[in-house]
Chains A and B, each alone.
Chain A
Amino acid sequence: MSGNGSRVPFDAFFLPAAGGERFCIFHPANGAPLGSVLYVHPFAEEMNKSRRMAALQARAFCRRGYNVLQIDLLGCGDSSGDFGDARWNAWNDDVALAADWLARHAEGPVHLWGLRLGALLALDHLRQAGRSFAGLLLWQPVISGAQFMTQFLRLRLGSEMLSGAAAGSGTEQLRAQLAAGRALEIAGYELTPQLASAIERLDLAALPPENVPSHWFEVNAEGKPSPGLRRAGQTWSSAGAEVELHAVRGEPFWSSVEPCECAELIGATCDTLSLAHA
């Protein structure tokens, strides 16, 4: 299957993997490739909401001379399994699988590009992988896995939170159910205790990579890095990691109700990648 028309052509295929297959899209670079970018998608509904931005960015990378590989992780998108089958380690293996595929099918340096929780998965992978990457492009990285889980659990509470009833039935109680080994249905996704506990432990500040330059991109109304991300960046710098923060004006496309795009983010990300190879 290939795209056509004025768009950059792409190839969609299934990679054999543990428990079935993973759906992948490979966007070949225009002209001789300068390198490749491996996309690590965000969590649950954020993955769906950011599909369009991921596709736009992938095409923009191609125009700048980079291949892009997108992989749907186990239990996500068009890959095998249900969300309830997903485990953090399996997702780590999927990133490795995609990186192996790139090593076999594309030449040049490989950059990891992660969005939201995908940024933490890319970082966690970097710690465990024997493979080296040329750089990290992190879009709106999740700062705290525990806070991210709280935010996800709140989706199930909704109006209960405002009624004051949340004290007895809030996120703490949902966490207790997970701790007791029960999976939870949240916004149409089955959250297992195994996946939740792995995510709870993640902390952006504690995952500085060694010898891999990182660029963080934040999208917000002010176009300035937020205090939360600045603090995490300072922790990385103190640990000796090479990290640069970029902020652009825009709306939170990964979570917004109305679909939106952020051309400024795509431009800034392309420029950063091009500079890395200048």
Chain B
Amino acid sequence: MIDQVRTIVDSALQLRGRLGASDGATALLGAIPELDSMAVVSLITALEEHFGFTVADDEIEAATFATLGSLADFVQHKLDA
């Protein structure tokens, strides 16, 4: 799951592989300059389109985008729902 989410983050933010072999602890929001508020919108869209789930307004919070791990947990939670 981490690998899939890393690939989508890289593609949506056009990081061109900059995340490298990052793990779940890798910080996203606040650590990656490309991840501004509009990029968060693109990232949510990319996750929705890839996995085919829908994210509700009240599910979106900063903590979800804190690290690669927190984002992967969120995706897993959506897929299990």
* A side interface size, CB within 8 A: 34
- Specify which chain A residues have a CB less than 8 angstroms from the CB of B12 in the assembled complex: 252
The digit string for B25-56, where 1 denotes a CB below 8 A from any CB of A, is 00001000010011111101110111110100
Within 8 A of A (CB), among B1-22: 4, 7-8, 10-12, 14
Select A158's contact among B11, B37, B54, B61, beta carbons within 8 Å. B37
The smallest C-beta distance from A122 to any residue of chain B, in angstroms, reads 19
Select B62's contact among A144, A162, A252, beta carbons within 8 Å. A162
The answer on a CB contact under 8 Å between A143 and B52 is yes
User: Which of A91-99, A127-135, A164-172, A267-275 makes up part of the contact surface?
Assistant: A164-172
Q: Does A227 contact B (CB under 8 A)?
A: yes
Q: Does A161 contact B (CB under 8 A)?
A: yes
Interface of A is mostly: helix
The answer on a CB contact under 8 Å between A226 and B7 is no
The digit string for A54-86, where 1 denotes a CB below 8 A from any CB of B, is 000000000000000000000000000000000
Known contacts A151-B41, A155-B41; is A252 also within 8 Å of B11 by CB?
yes
* B side interface size, CB within 8 A: 30
The answer on a CB contact under 8 Å between B14 and A258 is yes
- Specify which chain A residues have a CB less than 8 angstroms from the CB of B51 in the assembled complex: 226-228
- Specify which chain A residues have a CB less than 8 angstroms from the CB of B8 in the assembled complex: 221
Q: Does A147 contact B (CB under 8 A)?
A: yes
Select B52's contact among A162, A166, A220, A227, beta carbons within 8 Å. A227
Of the listed residues A154, A164, A166, A172, the one surrounded by the most CB atoms of chain B closer than 10 A to its CB is A154
A interface, CB within 8 angstroms of B: 143-144, 147, 150-151, 154-155, 157-159, 161-164, 166-167, 170-172, 220-222, 226-229, 231, 251-252, 255-258, 260
